[in-house]
Structure 1
């Protein structure tokens, strides 16, 4: 005996339709589950490739940061060496000016200027310059006149400030050149 004979005739079409509907819904559900698995695998593969790309980007960024830090460190060392050189030059210039001031103060050294040749030019003697020179004070045959100690000290101070300004300008130029060379 078959299972179909147990179902009354008038309900056989209904049971057959229900069975067909159940099979159709089962196939749809099975397709949905299979598509979910495939989509899950595709998402997992995409997440994996995204993680690999992000790891490569992170490594590249870390290398770039390291390169920038190395470049900055090299620039700092270069600027430090340049700064030490310029400060040494500045200290030497200040010591030189101090020695010159000391020599002027002790009268060991006297500053002098060339006097104008009044006979050749036909002009009067300058009143602020002494008209006589000491013996042995001729350089290249030209007579020289001594400068007052106070004026000589002011001249040395002015040249000392000028030396410091030139050295400071050199320091600034070296800094700008060093900074300008870095991209």
Structure 2
């Protein structure tokens, strides 16, 4: 009986080891399935987050690209307005300089520069040079003829005035048409 008891103890111990091994295997498998599910859920969640992040990045990138396109369009419009303004001002200055050159050429060929003038009532009487009797008079609304040198000086002054007025007008139009119409967020 001792052998049978010993055999029975061995069978019970073996059965307990087998049952323990089966229990561990089943627990291991169940835990693996559970962890696999969690890993799969985590992968899905990560993929969803990655997709959402990509969508956010694409939205931000598209908005930035649109902003750049708008800024570039405004810059090109401003550059075109400046080019148009420059062309207009250059034509005006060229025309005025051509008229001045025509007057200079006329002066060189013997033409005279005459200046139309008028005298206010208070200054009409001008004493004659070297006399103290009787006032000399300059008629109102007459012309005064200048010497050729004085004529050239007048034309030089006229050319400077024309250049300054054209530049001032161009700058004023630039401020009105380009600067004041520009988006304050965009600096040129």
TM-score band by shorter chain is: 0.7 to 0.9
After superposition, where does 1:6-155 map in structure 2 within 5 Å? Answer: 8-112=11-115, 121=125, 123-125=127-129, 140=141, 142=142, 144-155=143-154
Q: Deviation of residue 76 (structure 1)?
A: 2.1
Deviations 1:128-155 (A, max 9, x none): xxxx9xxxx9663x5x543221122012
Deviations 1:106-134 (A, max 9, x none): 232323475979996464549xxxxx9xx
| Number of aligned positions between the proteins | 168
Q: 1:119 to 1:156 in 2, by over 3 A?
A: closer
Q: Which residue of 2 aligns with 1:158?
A: 157
Contact map agreement 2:112 2:148 (CA 8 A) in 1: no
Unmatched 5+ stretches in structure 1: 127-131
Q: With structure 1 as the length reference, what TM-score do the two structures score?
A: 0.73
Q: 1:59 to 1:114 in 2, by over 3 A?
A: closer
Unmatched 5+ stretches in structure 2: 1-7, 131-135, 184-188
Q: 1:120 to 1:66 in 2, by over 3 A?
A: closer
Contact map agreement 1:115 1:145 (CA 8 A) in 2: no
Q: CA RMSD in A?
A: 3.3
Q: 1:77 to 1:122 in 2, by over 3 A?
A: closer
Distance, in Å, in 1 between the alignment partners of 2:122 and 2:172 is 45
Q: If each structure's strand is expressed as a fraction of its own residues, which one has the higher value?
A: 2
* Greater Cα shift, 6-15 or 163-172: 6-15
Q: 1:118 to 1:69 in 2, by over 3 A?
A: closer
Q: With structure 2 as the length reference, what TM-score do the two structures score?
A: 0.72
Distance, in Å, in 2 between the alignment partners of 1:148 and 1:156 is 12
